Amino acid sequence: MLENVDLTKTLPKEEYKTIMEDLKIQMGELQRKAWKMDIPIIIVFEGWHASGMSEIINRFLLTLSPMGFNLHTTGRPCYQEEQKPLLWRFWTKIPQKGRMAIFDRSWYRRIIIEHNKKGKANKNMQKCLSNLTYFERQLTDGGYLLIKLFLHISKDEQDKRYGEMKDTGIPQFIIEEEERDYLNGYDKYLPLIEGILEKTDRSFAPWTIVEADDRNFATVKVLAKVIESIEYRIQDLENKELLEQNQKKDTCVIPNIDSSILEKINPDKSLTYEEYKAEKKKCQKKLKTLQYDLFRNRIPLIVVFEGWDASGKGGGIRRLVKKLNPRLYQVTPVGVPTPDELRRHYLWRFYNQIPEAGHIGIYDRSWYGRVLVERVEDLCNVEEWKRAYREINEFEETLSNYGTIIVKFWMHIDKDEQLRRFKEREKVDYKQWKITPDDWRNREKWNLYLDAADEMLTKTSTSWAPWTIVESNDKYYSRIKIMNTVIGRIESELKERGLQ
């Protein structure tokens, strides 16, 4: 994509000024329109060293209202960022609806630098690229407009600029050590970048090569491209609205005719109190040791609890963490999203909450809400929750690629047992707050939730993040099964990675 680009294009100063006056007004209007139409926009700037990125970005920013954007400069990851998967720092910075996030270098620069630093074979690079394809597709599927710009200059031009910088004393101290190789490796990096650009030039997130030997020309091209992209998106949305008005909606859900996985489960397995007590003590002691093994090896662990209301998620979690060091684990209850969360991609809140390397993240309900409560209660549309199976698998694959161990529990009780527990909660004084009208309403939709759970268990049980169904009519049995499953997974993972 970089070959045969005509880099001789220029724009004289006076012409540039006139065009910019005009584009600035257009840009201002579009920014306000996108804001009103709730379109979230992500603009990625990549390019060679000395391609004039700072200056071009600054000129671009000056056409925008500061109310509507955030600029994110991507440099060396800080300690916290190093303890999370590469894409975490970008996921957490996606804009809310109607706003713009501008990345001054992005996940691409990080991949290029990391690739060079580690000098690993292409296998790792493939994983990286597929993770970021997930990322970009999830965003654009979720309504984000993604504009990717590569500022391209010739090697001669780069050399010339380096010479000028030396003369004018532009501060070199801003350039980080790890970038030095890229700084002086035009010919070495050309084929690498060419390859990455080609592989990631997807219909949902295409690249625009910006000829940047002339800064005026480049600035105008950047601005024109952004304006064009936003205009197209606005047209698309307006057409879609028209289309929807004229069409009868007929997205139908085909009922699940496969046999149910859960119906075959007998949730009645049990343990005596003595068995429970002895096992519990053993398990908790073991977990305490394993927690430090995870920390020492910087392996993050995620434990997800899903299941029926009153199936014992809270009690299971409390026994699991009883002897753990609170500095190394966190329990995250997942409820109704906040207004801030609603204005972003639904996975945003979960990226914000992933455990750092060596820590344990425990979730009392989770991202599976998308295909459970949000599906059953019509909180998202059919297209959205159907897409979510793939998105969730991709999300977990991305975490797993980073080294995260993922354990997922479906806490299973039958309808009679639930009724018994609801009634007990109503009876016992200090348990009453645990039972709300919502619980009774959910119970009425038992079969809808059963279908949803069945489909979820089928479609999201992967080799990297399998589900475990926990027979939970008996709390003793259930708690021990949870602890033993977690212990088993940690031990086998440590073994597999040659750490034990």
Nearer to a copy of itself, 154 or 330 (CB): 330
Residue among 441, 277, 305 at smallest CA distance from 361? 305
- Residue 66 CA, distance from chain mean position: 26
CB atoms within 10 A of CB 210: 24
Contact window for a copy of itself (CB under 8 A) among 25-33, 217-225, 243-251, 437-445: 25-33
Is there binding between residue 427 and a copy of itself (CB under 8 A)? no
Nearest distance from residue 215's CB to a copy of itself, in Å?
A: 13
Is there binding between residue 327 and a copy of itself (CB under 8 A)? yes
The residues, ordered by sequence, that sit 6+ positions from 112 with a Cβ below 8 Å of its Cβ are 182, 189, 192, 193, 196
Both tokens assigned to 279: 């096992």
Is there binding between residue 437 and a copy of itself (CB under 8 A)? no
One of 149, 153, 310, 317 touching a copy of itself (CB under 8 A): 317
One of 277, 318, 415, 427 touching a copy of itself (CB under 8 A): 318
One of 20, 57, 151, 220 touching a copy of itself (CB under 8 A): 57
Distance CA 68, CA 72 (A): 14
Nearest distance from residue 74's CB to a copy of itself, in Å?
A: 10
SS3 of residue 371 by DSSP: helix
Is there binding between residue 273 and a copy of itself (CB under 8 A)? no
Is there binding between residue 321 and a copy of itself (CB under 8 A)? yes
SS3 of residue 469 by DSSP: strand
Among positive and negative, which fits the CA dihedral 426, 428, 429, 434? negative
Nearest distance from residue 300's CB to a copy of itself, in Å?
A: 16
Interaction residues for a copy of itself, span 98-127 (CB under 8 A): 104
Nearer to a copy of itself, 338 or 463 (CB): 338
- The CA distances from residue 367 to 94, 139, 372, in Å, are 18, 16, 9
Distance CA 492, CA 500 (A): 9
Is there binding between residue 215 and a copy of itself (CB under 8 A)? no
CB atoms within 10 A of CB 496: 9
Residues 220/19, Cβ–Cβ less than 8 Å: yes
Is there binding between residue 97 and a copy of itself (CB under 8 A)? no
Is there binding between residue 94 and a copy of itself (CB under 8 A)? no
Is there binding between residue 331 and a copy of itself (CB under 8 A)? yes
Is there binding between residue 71 and a copy of itself (CB under 8 A)? yes
Nearer to a copy of itself, 197 or 321 (CB): 321
Strand pairing report for 41-47 and 207-211: unpaired
Nearer to a copy of itself, 73 or 492 (CB): 73
Contact window for a copy of itself (CB under 8 A) among 140-148, 335-343, 382-390, 447-455: 335-343
Interaction residues for a copy of itself, span 74-93 (CB under 8 A): 78-80
Contact window for a copy of itself (CB under 8 A) among 21-29, 266-274, 450-458, 482-490: 21-29
The residues, ordered by sequence, that sit 6+ positions from 55 with a Cβ below 8 Å of its Cβ are 215
Strand ranges (DSSP E) for 143-294? 145-152, 207-211
Distance CA 101, CA 219 (A): 18
The residues, ordered by sequence, that sit 6+ positions from 335 with a Cβ below 8 Å of its Cβ are 365
Nearest distance from residue 110's CB to a copy of itself, in Å?
A: 16
Contact window for a copy of itself (CB under 8 A) among 152-160, 302-310, 332-340, 445-453: 332-340
Is there binding between residue 129 and a copy of itself (CB under 8 A)? no
Residue among 384, 302, 311, 312 at smallest CA distance from 346? 384
Residue type, 198: E
Nearest distance from residue 67's CB to a copy of itself, in Å?
A: 5
Distance CA 360, CA 369 (A): 20
Is there binding between residue 29 and a copy of itself (CB under 8 A)? yes
Is there binding between residue 330 and a copy of itself (CB under 8 A)? yes
Nearer to a copy of itself, 118 or 288 (CB): 288
One of 204, 232, 292, 440 touching a copy of itself (CB under 8 A): 292
Is there binding between residue 296 and a copy of itself (CB under 8 A)? yes
Nearest distance from residue 351's CB to a copy of itself, in Å?
A: 17
Strand pairing report for 405-412 and 145-152: unpaired
The residues, ordered by sequence, that sit 6+ positions from 328 with a Cβ below 8 Å of its Cβ are 291, 294, 295, 358, 359, 360
| Residues that contact a copy of itself, how many (by CB under 8 A) | 44
Question: Contact positions toward a copy of itself, by CB under 8 A?
Answer: 25, 28-29, 32, 54, 57-58, 61-62, 65-67, 71, 73, 78-80, 104, 171, 173-174, 292, 295-296, 317-318, 321-327, 330-333, 335, 338-340, 364, 430, 433
